Amino acid sequence: MIEPSFFFEQVKKNGTDFFAGVPDSLLKNLCAYITDNESDERHIIPANEGSAVALATGHHLATGSIPLVYMQNSGIGNAVNPLLSLVDSDVYRIPMVLVIGWRGEPGKKDEPQHVTQGRLTCPLLETMGIPYVVMAEDHDSLKKQIDDCYRSIRETGRPFAFVVKKDSFAPYSLQKNIPVTAEMTRETAIETVLLASRSDDIFVSTTGMASRELYELREKHGMGHGKDFLTVGSMGHASQIALGIALEKKNRRVVCIDGDGAALMQMGGLALIGERKPENYIHVVINNGAHDSVGGQPTIALSVDLAGIAKACGYASAVQVASPEDLRAELEKNAAGPRLVEVRVLKGARKDLGRPKESPQENKQAFMQFVAE
């Protein structure tokens, strides 16, 4: 196993002093170590992986040094455009180290949303012409890989990627926890929304633990799973899936259960919701100020006025709530949407949280039947 401190020190020794990325469960120990040991100016968690590549590019343009960008392989898609049309050697040829968590590695069991991305991770890098190695799992081999990586970057001026297998990094627990003043957990917030909703409300939930909690809560209350579209992958897009449904099903309420990290990742979606003004749309953004599902690294959502943004985008109303009572009252209101309800919650989840038992396509079938009723 690799100590996160060892990796960090080796890249620092090679002159890297800027880190940007979106956290990943497989990289969580490294991400937490960087969060704790690098200043806020030199480590930034931006809205999405494409922004991380762009920030790193700006840092290189300003300093000439080699930045490091980390991401889950799910985020490669968000990064492809800046990698190919900005960083690429036929364009500006920007050097950077990429560290990519390898969910869905072939031969290892993982969730359906990671299978194809996992199979295509190395072929995608090859197709994009980005040299890479699968990160070694002992310090001596890794030191050699890192030295080779920087030699390649210095010779070519191009990026170099480390593809990181599960359990490659030794444990490290995040120390820098930003306190959130909140009285309920995400699970309590979701339960409150469920119990205050109408029986024909359509739900679309975001990537990560929110969808897993929604699934288990339906089970607990014997409500079945057909009412929920679980956006297991495609982080940030739940709000637009919900919008696509709301625009067609005008006589049904559509409730989007979003996360702060996900809402920030595709924040442009709020503008379209505000412009289209679906009256049947309720956007519940659960804000724990963190990428809780992948290790709890901070987002910037606690210092952003999400309700203010939604209002400026044209939502009919937008409020922030912190108690189950206020959340319940919002859901029970008979007001026209689109409405945004930001719910401040605590970080963390149950240790024994399960995963959906049905396949995504079974989920889709049951959901489409419910929507058609």
Answer yes or no: are the C-beta atoms of 68 and 96 closer than 8 Å: yes
CA atoms of 100 and 269, how far apart (whole Å):
26
# of chain residues touching ligand TPP (CB under 6 A): 25
Q: Is 200 helix (H, G, I), strand (E, B) or coil?
A: coil
State which residue, 153 or 242, has the beta carbon closest to ligand TPP: 242
- Provide the mask over 179-208, with x wherever binding to ligand TPP is found by CB under 6 A and - wherever it is not: -------x-------------------xxx
21 binds ligand TPP (CB under 6 A): no
Q: Kindly tell me which residue out of 130, 163, 182, 235 binds ligand TPP, with binding defined by CB under 6 A.
A: 235
291 binds ligand TPP (CB under 6 A): yes
State which residue, 235 or 241, has the beta carbon closest to ligand TPP: 235
Neighbouring CB atoms inside 10 A of 325's CB total: 10
121 binds ligand TPP (CB under 6 A): no
CA atoms of 48 and 261, how far apart (whole Å):
9
Residue nearest to ligand TPP (CB): 259
Radius of gyration of the chain (CA): 21
CA atoms of 201 and 211, how far apart (whole Å):
16
Contacts with ligand TPP in 243-272 (CB under 6 A)? 259-262
Closest separation in Å from C-beta 345 to ligand TPP: 9
292 binds ligand TPP (CB under 6 A): yes
Q: Kindly tell me which residue out of 16, 24, 307, 339 binds ligand TPP, with binding defined by CB under 6 A.
A: 24
Closest separation in Å from C-beta 78 to ligand TPP: 5
Q: Kindly tell me which residue out of 7, 288, 344, 363 binds ligand TPP, with binding defined by CB under 6 A.
A: 288
Neighbouring CB atoms inside 10 A of 264's CB total: 23
CA atoms of 305 and 151, how far apart (whole Å):
44
Name which of 57, 97, 102 is nearest 81 in CA terms: 57
Q: Single out the segment in contact with ligand TPP by CB under 6 A; choices: 1-9, 26-34, 221-229, 285-293.
A: 285-293
Closest separation in Å from C-beta 63 to ligand TPP: 26
Tell me how far apart the terminal alpha carbons of the chain are, to the nearest angstrom.
52
Contacts with ligand TPP in 307-346 (CB under 6 A)? none
69 binds ligand TPP (CB under 6 A): no
State which residue, 146 or 346, has the beta carbon closest to ligand TPP: 346
- Provide the mask over 70-109, with x wherever binding to ligand TPP is found by CB under 6 A and - wherever it is not: --x-xx--x-------------------------------
Beta strands in the chain (DSSP E): 19-21, 43-44, 68-72, 97-101, 132-134, 160-164, 202-205, 228-230, 254-259, 281-287, 290-291, 297-298, 317-321, 339-344
299 binds ligand TPP (CB under 6 A): yes
CA atoms of 8 and 33, how far apart (whole Å):
8
Using alpha carbons only, what angle is made at residue 324 by residues 221 and 267, rounded to the nearest 5 degrees?
A: 95
Contact positions toward ligand TPP, by CB under 6 A? 22-24, 72, 74-75, 78, 186, 206-210, 235, 259-262, 288, 290-294, 299
